[in-house]
Amino acid sequence: METSHILNFIRRTFNDAEGFIPLHAPFFGGKEKEYVTDTIDSTFVSSVGAYVTRFEEMMTEITGARYAIATVNGTTALHLALVLAGVKYGEEVITQSLTFVATANAIAHAGAIPVFTDVDKDTMGLSPAALQAFLEEHVMVNANGECINKTSGRRIAACVPMHTFGFPLRISELAAVCSKYNIPLVEDAAESLGSYVGDKHTGTFGLIGTFSFNGNKTVTCGGGGAIVTNDEAIAKKAKHLSTTAKIPHAYEFVHDDIGYNYRMPNLNAALACAQLEQLDAMLANKRELAEMYSNFFQGSSVSYVKEMYGTKANYWLNTVIFQDHAQQQAFLKESNDNKVMTRPIWRLMNRLPMYAHCQHGDLSNAEWLEERVVNIPSSVRK
C-alpha cells in the first residue's frame, strides 16, 4: 500500500489537509478549567485536597479494584508498587523486553535487576508460554518457597507484564504461571486505562497494578499515576510511603519509615477528575477511530492490530505492522517528513546500554515486532 494513500486517509480522518498531526494530543472537553481554578481559589493545590480523594475513588470505580492511591507519575507508581510487593535491592524482576523504558527504569529504581522475556506476537505483551519456558530452564523454588534464578543465585521477586498500547495481554494465563512459581505479579497498566479482559479491568489481575496519566496517555492530568490493589495492608502502606511516612500527630514530626513523597498534587488531581468524567466518551471516540482504521487497512499489505477475542482494548495508540523493516522505515520517514507524526515501537530494553548486561530469554517475537510495528495518529477527534 502506498504511503501517500495512508497519509491522505489520516489527513481526511483528522480533517486537516496540511497541518501537523500529532500522535496523541490531550483532549480537554469537560470541567478541566473549573476544577483546576477551584484548587487555586481554595489554596489547596498540593498533595492534600478533595480532588486527590475524589480521583482515588474514581479509579476504584473505573477499575473495580478495592483501593487506589494517587502518585506523581506512572514511573513512581510502579517503583512504589515493586517496593510494596517486597522487591529488595539486588533481587531480580522479570519483564518483557518490548516495553517503554519506564517499566525497566522502575525496576532499577527499586534496586532490582530486570530479566527480559519474550512477548506474544498477537498481544505484544508478556507471553505466558515464554515465561513458563524461561522459568523451567532457569529457576528453582527453594524450601522457603522463594523462586531462585539458578544462573545468578538471586531471588526473582516479581513479574511485571505490560499491556502494550492498551491491548490486553494473556494476563490470566500469566497469573497462573506466576502463582505456580510463587512470583508476585505487578501489572504495568500505564497504557491500558479502559482495557478489559472479559469484564475485569487490566491492572487488577495481580497483587498490584499501576497506571499513568502522562500528557500522551488516553487520560492526562499533566503528570500523574495511580496504584490499585485489593490488599488493604498494601493500600495502607502505599499511602504511608507515598507521603513522608509520618505518624499522625497534631504537631510532632515523627516518621516511622523512609517515605518517597510520590503523592499526586491536588492541582493535578483536579485535572484528572475532569478527564476521568469523560473517559467513556473518549473511549467511544477512540473506538470509532479504530473502526475507521480497521476498515481502511482491511485486505491491504499493512496489517492493523485489533483487540483479541474476549478482550476490550482502549485503542490508546493505533498500531500497524509492516511486512518488513524496510517498509517500516520508509513509512516512518515519509510520514514524519510530511508532518504526520508516527513512531516505531520501542527499541528492545536489552539493546539499551543500561540494560544490555541483563539476562534475557528467547526474544524472537519481540525482535520481529521491533522491526515492523508503527503507531499512527490516535488522538480523540473533536
Ligand X SMILES: *Cc1c(COP(=O)(O)O)cnc(C)c1O
Per CB under 6 A, residues contacting ligand X are: 73-75, 99-100, 102-103, 162, 188, 190-191, 212, 214, 225
Residues 347, 373: Cα–Cα separation, whole Å: 11
CB of 100 to ligand X, least distance (A): 4
CB of 86 to ligand X, least distance (A): 20
Torsion (CA) 378, 68, 171, 213 in degrees, nearest 10 = 20
Question: Would you say 95 or 327 has its CB closer to ligand X?
Answer: 95
Question: Would you say 181 or 205 has its CB closer to ligand X?
Answer: 205
User: How far does CA 3 lie from the centroid of its chain?
Assistant: 29
Residues 209, 161: Cα–Cα separation, whole Å: 10
CB of 371 to ligand X, least distance (A): 20
CB of 105 to ligand X, least distance (A): 8
CB of 212 to ligand X, least distance (A): 3
CB of 377 to ligand X, least distance (A): 17
Question: Would you say 84 or 162 has its CB closer to ligand X?
Answer: 162
Residues 165, 217: Cα–Cα separation, whole Å: 10
Catalytic residue among 121, 150, 217, 339: 217
Report the interhelical angle of 3-13 vs 279-297 (nearest 10°).
Answer: 150
Question: Would you say 181 or 260 has its CB closer to ligand X?
Answer: 260
Question: Would you say 212 or 379 has its CB closer to ligand X?
Answer: 212
Question: Would you say 112 or 139 has its CB closer to ligand X?
Answer: 112
Question: Would you say 49 or 161 has its CB closer to ligand X?
Answer: 161
217 annotated active-site: yes
CB of 15 to ligand X, least distance (A): 28
Place of cell 499501576: 210
What residues are annotated to the active site? 217
